[in-house]
Amino acid sequence: MAGPSEAEKPFDIVATYNELLRTDSDMTMPIAAIESLVLLLTHSPSSTISETLDLLEKSTAHLKKSIPNPIGLSAGTDLFQRYLITTLQRPGQLGPAGDFNAIRAHLLSNGRLFVRRAKESRDKIATFGRGFVRDGSTILTNGGSRVVASLLQKAAAEKGGLSAVRFRVIYVLSSAKGDVENPSAEPEGMETVRMLRESGVPVATIPPSAVAYSIGKADTVIVGAEGVVENGGIVSRMGTYQLGLLAKAMAKPFYVVAESHKFVRVYPLGQYDLPIEQRVIQFKTQEDIAEAEKQRLDAKSSDVPAKTSSEYREVVDYTPPHLISALITDSGVLTPSAVSEELIKIWF
């Protein structure tokens, strides 16, 4: 019993997770979660299956609690746990009867393999999705999704090649308005905009308020996702839902680009049924503001305002499946209803 707790002391899973996300800009949340779990297993000297599972469960719960929005990472932890259990249940050398050290070694190597494969999946998606960027079309996109960026880049890079795709991009940039501390901070996605412009793609940037105005000029809407939920809807950066609604109203195809490891076992029934707490709508009177201001001055703790700003950048909304035309994933281009099929395949 003392084993795991001692091992956990030197190894802080939350810090590892955050560190992984910070150092590797290509890392997505589920992959970072899996990688940190693999690291945890290497650091902890657990010797039985149940001990390992117990440790994983505890660390996962701890990790989920410490991160404000655990939807993305829970896709990774769930997947890893599931993989672990199926591996252990399989008969043979690695089954319950086998040597535990062999099992562990196998798990670790496979965990690494999984992480590597997940990173490669972005290229695969770009290959699948390239066909959706047609010559002469205008793409509307938002947020800072790296998959969308790599897809657009792939399409742009072919410009000089055989299939010359000329396209334009309307990029919806959320001004970092919630960022009180740093009003001049670069809006999310600016990096992609620069990169696209460098490769010769004309990019227009618009604020979210201009989406309805501009969507008439766009042919296709392509967005990224933080998590793909069980009914085929997506959890994504705040503002994606309204993009979806407008695209539906204007009858523009709305594509979602996401790696299949982002499929998560969550079934939200609506915007307010997400398993996270978001403080987006906050009613205040002048009195409340004065009160809060006073408290802030009293406390003078520096981390409070910084936290709120980062929180604002991380808020998400839920786009229901009926707004989505298709999901471009590394296991193919799926309709929203096929997502549940994929999920069931993973889980049963």
Partner 1 sequence: MSAPADKKPAADPAAEKLSGAELKKKAKAEKAARRARERADRDAAGGTPGPKDGAGKKGAGAGGAAGGKDAGAGGQKGQRQQQRRGSTQGGPEAKKRPVENKNVAVFGHLYGQPRRTSVAGAGKEVHPAVLALGLQMRDYVVCGSSARCVATLLAFKRVIEAYTTPLGTSLSRHLTTHLSHQITYLSTCRPLSISQGNAIRALKLEIASIDPSVPEAEAKAALSEFIDSFIREKITVADQVIAGSAAQKIQDGDVIVTYAGSSLVKQTLLAAAREGKRFRVSVIDSRPLFEGKNLARTLVAAGLDVQYTLVHGISHAIKDATKVFLGAHAMTSNGRLYSRVGTALVAMSAKERAGGVEVPVIVCCETVKFTDRVALDSIVVNELADADELVEVQAPQQLTGLPDPAAAAAAAEQETKKGGKPNQTAHSGQSAAAEFPTDASPLANWKETPNLQLLNIMYDVTPAQYVDMVVTEMGSLPPSAVPIVHRMSTNM
- Chain residues in the site for partner 1 (CB under 8 A): 230-232, 265, 267, 269-270, 273, 320-322, 336-337, 340-341, 344, 347-348
SS3 113: helix
Token pair, residue 7, equals 């091992």
**Which secondary structure element, helix H or strand E, spans residue 139, and what is its range?**
strand 138-142
Residues 135, 243, 333, 144, CA torsion sign: positive
> What is the closest distance, in whole angstroms, from the C-beta atom of residue 272 to partner 1 in the complex?
9
Q: Cα separation of 98 and 118, whole Å?
A: 28
CB burial class (10 A; 0-12, 13-18, 19+) of residue 331?
A: middle
Q: Cα separation of 194 and 213, whole Å?
A: 23
Cβ distance to partner 1 smaller for residue 42 or 81? 81
Residue 333: phi, psi to the nearest 5?
-90, 120
For 118, 202, 225, 246, the CA distances from 28, given in Å and listed in that order, are 9, 28, 11, 28
> What is the closest distance, in whole angstroms, from the C-beta atom of residue 197 to partner 1 in the complex?
38
Cβ distance to partner 1 smaller for residue 109 or 337? 337
SS3 94: coil
Cβ distance to partner 1 smaller for residue 232 or 239? 232
Cβ distance to partner 1 smaller for residue 138 or 271? 271
> What is the closest distance, in whole angstroms, from the C-beta atom of residue 243 to partner 1 in the complex?
16
**Which secondary structure element, helix H or strand E, spans residue 216, and what is its range?**
none
Q: Cα separation of 253 and 220, whole Å?
A: 5
Backbone conformation region of residue 272, classed left if phi is above 0, alpha if psi is from -120 to 50, else beta: alpha
> What is the closest distance, in whole angstroms, from the C-beta atom of residue 204 to partner 1 in the complex?
31
> What is the closest distance, in whole angstroms, from the C-beta atom of residue 345 to partner 1 in the complex?
9
For 128, 139, 141, 199, 328, the CA distances from 166, given in Å and listed in that order, are 18, 11, 16, 11, 21
> What is the closest distance, in whole angstroms, from the C-beta atom of residue 249 to partner 1 in the complex?
12
> What is the closest distance, in whole angstroms, from the C-beta atom of residue 273 to partner 1 in the complex?
8
> What is the closest distance, in whole angstroms, from the C-beta atom of residue 338 to partner 1 in the complex?
8
Cβ distance to partner 1 smaller for residue 132 or 318? 318
> What is the closest distance, in whole angstroms, from the C-beta atom of residue 229 to partner 1 in the complex?
10
Cβ distance to partner 1 smaller for residue 72 or 336? 336
The CA-to-CA distance between both ends of the chain, in Å, stands at: 32
Token pair, residue 171, equals 């990029």
Cβ distance to partner 1 smaller for residue 283 or 348? 348
Cβ distance to partner 1 smaller for residue 30 or 232? 232
Task: State how far Cα 310 lies from the chain centre.
Answer: 16
Residues in the chain: 348
Cβ distance to partner 1 smaller for residue 197 or 265? 265
